[in-house]
Amino acid sequence: MQIIAFNGSPRKNGNTAQLLRETLNATVELGATTDFVHLADLEMKGCRGCYACKIEGKSRGRCVQQDDMTELYARIEAADAVLFGTPIYFGAMTPELKMLVDRFFPYLSMDFTSSLPKGKRAGVVVTQNQRDAALYEGHLHLIDRALRVIGFASVDFLVSVDTIGFEPMEKLAGETIPKQAERKAKAKAELWPKDLAKARELGRSLRGVA
């Protein structure tokens, strides 16, 4: 089994990346081969809505833009499962991940049938600074719907709450920062081992093991 992971965080070793790697590690232990892509390293543009991928001819089903996304299509198509990771920035996925998802548009025909190879599973790792796991459920629902419309057979989520990627917090401005930093440290000590365990569960799910 082949699994490709896309890190939509600008941080290569932040919370999102760590959870993605833990998920992949669980699949490797079950015999999968993995691929990890840090999206911020790529030279890639968003979908420009030209509809060339919908026109009869050699461009149909393919994006005509030539950039780092071009070679990723084959790796995505060869994968049995695709893992997406993003922190929540301003209530939504990062621009890096949104750009990737938008570039899946060539797989959709005008009647919304999909040319993505059948049976692919998707996993989505989400990290958020806020404590309320339900706060961004609306946005996660949109991600779920988009991936299913694109053609993924299943979409499983891991949501890690009360995280922060900025270190050290004491450099931030504000009188409440020291108290927040102390509370965040306590929260991470309590929640992070559980999140790592959930990441391994997600990996087993992607590998098809209950």
Percent of all residues in the chain with a pLDDT value above 70, rounded to a whole number: 94
Q: What is the mean pLDDT of residues 19-29?
A: 97
Q: What is the pLDDT of residue 175?
A: 61
pLDDT tens track for 78-127: 999 999 999 999 999 999 999 999 999 999 999 999 999 999 999 999 99
- The model carries a pTM of 0.93
Q: What is the pLDDT of residue 58?
A: 82
Record the tokens describing residue 186, joined without a space: 């306590």
Residues 38-45: what's their mean pLDDT? Answer: 97
In the chain the first and final C-alpha atoms are separated, in Å, by 16
Helix orientation angle between 95-102 and 137-150, rounded to the nearest 10 degrees: 30
Question: What's the mean per-residue pLDDT of the chain?
Answer: 93
Strand partners, 37: 6
pLDDT of residue 209: 65
Query: What pLDDT is recorded for position 109?
Result: 94
Q: Which domains does the chain have, with CATH numbers?
A: 2-206 (3.40.50.360)
pLDDT: is 70 or 56 the higher one?
Answer: 70
Smallest CA-to-CA distance from 84 within 108, 68, 67, 102 is with 102
